[in-house]
């Protein structure tokens, strides 16, 4: 029995090593805890954010302040954004056409159909600018909502229109609209981000309007000491045209460098990432003016919510 006990007991050296390892682990744990406590006082997880009257258009609420808004980074908001990402991908699979439009204000368009003439040809909408012009002519109230662009949108906000096959020769049917809004705020100073989906909502009486179905929002505080927010998350949408469009004779690199689609035009789309600590851009490499990446040099690695979106999924 004594010899067996001697074979299974720890030696003095082993005990000293074990105690030293435990002490080292405890020291590291204390240092990590102190770091968390020290940084916890410098960053708020939630708070009230004054956004303004845009909230009424965003969510249909009579308010100007978002109470208990999540401050970035927020992993709870990441989960909400993932739900919206899944919904977006599902919508793309059943869409007949997609148009990404830029804008600097809010978007109040919620109609599920867009009137067109009986002579309208869908092939004429080969660029988002063509769709913008059609929308402005058919729904005059949108004429000042969206801004013209070709290639990379320089607008602060964006709307992604997803169309679905229509049973009428004189209407375009809207499956869903995704609005990406980055609103500068001064109380507190920063940027309030809201990404929303508007689609058909089942009601007792159909009014032909799209309603809010999914969204995520997040607030990015401005860098310490800033008194005016700077929105550096741009572009939100970049359109890649067909390479053969107009014979590829453009002399302006800002257009020609993005004519890369062999057959089917497509977009790059970015949504702000709730897991990111800031919207500020990081210094990246410089690109030649003829390089497509020169149109979006600051967007590399900025967010995990990046999409390659076909303009005509049904083709």
pLDDT in tens, 66-106: 999 999 999 999 999 999 999 999 999 999 999 999 999 99
Are 282 and 301 a contacting pair, CB within 8 Å? yes
**What confidence score (pLDDT) does residue 34 get?**
55
Is 202 within a domain?
yes
Provide the number of structural domains found in the chain. Answer: 1
d(CA 33, CA 10): 32
The C-alpha atoms of residue 66 and residue 49 are separated, in whole angstroms, by 5
**Is 236 domain-assigned?**
yes
| Domain region containing 302 | 76-182+194-215+226-310
The residue among 128, 194, 123, 197 whose CA lies nearest residue 156 is 194
Question: Cα 108 to chain center, whole Å?
Answer: 19
176 or 314: whose pLDDT is higher? Answer: 176
Query: Is 48 contained in some domain?
Result: no
Q: What is the pTM of this model?
A: 0.83
Average pLDDT, the chain: 86
Q: Is residue 33 part of a domain?
A: no
- 123 domain-assigned: yes
Indicate the pLDDT class of residue 122, thresholds 50, 70 and 90: confident
Are the C-beta atoms of residues 181 and 159 closer than 8 Å to each other?
no
The Cα–Cα gap between 108 and 179 comes to: 10
Categorize the per-residue pLDDT at 38 as very low, low, confident or very high, splitting at 50, 70 and 90. Answer: very low
Task: Answer whether residue 106 is part of any domain.
Answer: yes
Within-domain flag for 86: yes
Comparing 45 with 201, which gets the higher pLDDT?
Answer: 45
As given in the structure block, the two tokens for residue 231 are 């929105």
Q: Is residue 18 part of a domain?
A: no
| Residue 113 confidence class, pLDDT cut points 50, 70, 90 | very high
Q: Is 132 in contact with 103 (CB distance < 8 Å)?
A: no
């Amino acid at each position: 029995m004594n010899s067996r006990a001697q074979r299974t007991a720890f030696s003095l050296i082993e005990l000293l090593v074990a105690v030293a390892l435990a002490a080292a682990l405890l020291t590291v744990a204390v240092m990590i805890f102190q770091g968390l406590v020290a940084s916890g006082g410098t960053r708020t997880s939630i708070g009230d954010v004054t956004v303004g009257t845009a909230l009424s258009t965003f969510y249909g609420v009579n308010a100007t302040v978002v109470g208990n808004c999540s401050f970035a980074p927020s992993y709870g908001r990441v989960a909400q954004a993932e739900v919206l990402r899944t919904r977006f991908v599902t919508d793309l699979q059943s869409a007949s056409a997609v148009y990404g439009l830029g804008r600097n204000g809010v978007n109040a368009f919620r109609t599920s159909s867009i009137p067109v003439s009986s002579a309208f040809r869908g092939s004429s909408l080969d660029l988002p600018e063509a769709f913008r012009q059609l929308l402005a002519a058919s729904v005059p109230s949108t004429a000042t909502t969206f801004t013209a662009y070709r290639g990379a949108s320089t607008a602060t906000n964006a709307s992604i229109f997803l169309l679905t096959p229509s049973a009428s020769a004189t209407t375009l049917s809207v499956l869903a609209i995704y609005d990406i809004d980055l609103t500068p705020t001064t109380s507190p100073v920063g940027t309030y981000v809201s990404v929303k989906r508007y689609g058909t909502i089942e009601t007792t009486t159909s009014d032909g309007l799209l309603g809010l179905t999914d969204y995520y929002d997040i607030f990015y505080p401005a860098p310490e000491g800033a008194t005016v927010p700077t929105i550096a998350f741009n572009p939100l949408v970049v359109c890649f045209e067909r390479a053969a469009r107009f014979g590829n004779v453009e002399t302006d690199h800002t257009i020609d460098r993005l004519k890369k689609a062999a057959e089917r035009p497509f977009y790059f789309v970015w949504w702000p990432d709730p897991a990111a600590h800031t919207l500020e851009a990081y210094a990246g490499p410089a690109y030649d003016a003829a390089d497509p990446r020169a149109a979006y040099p600051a967007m590399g690695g900025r967010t995990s919510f990046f999409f390659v979106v076909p303009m005509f999924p049904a083709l």
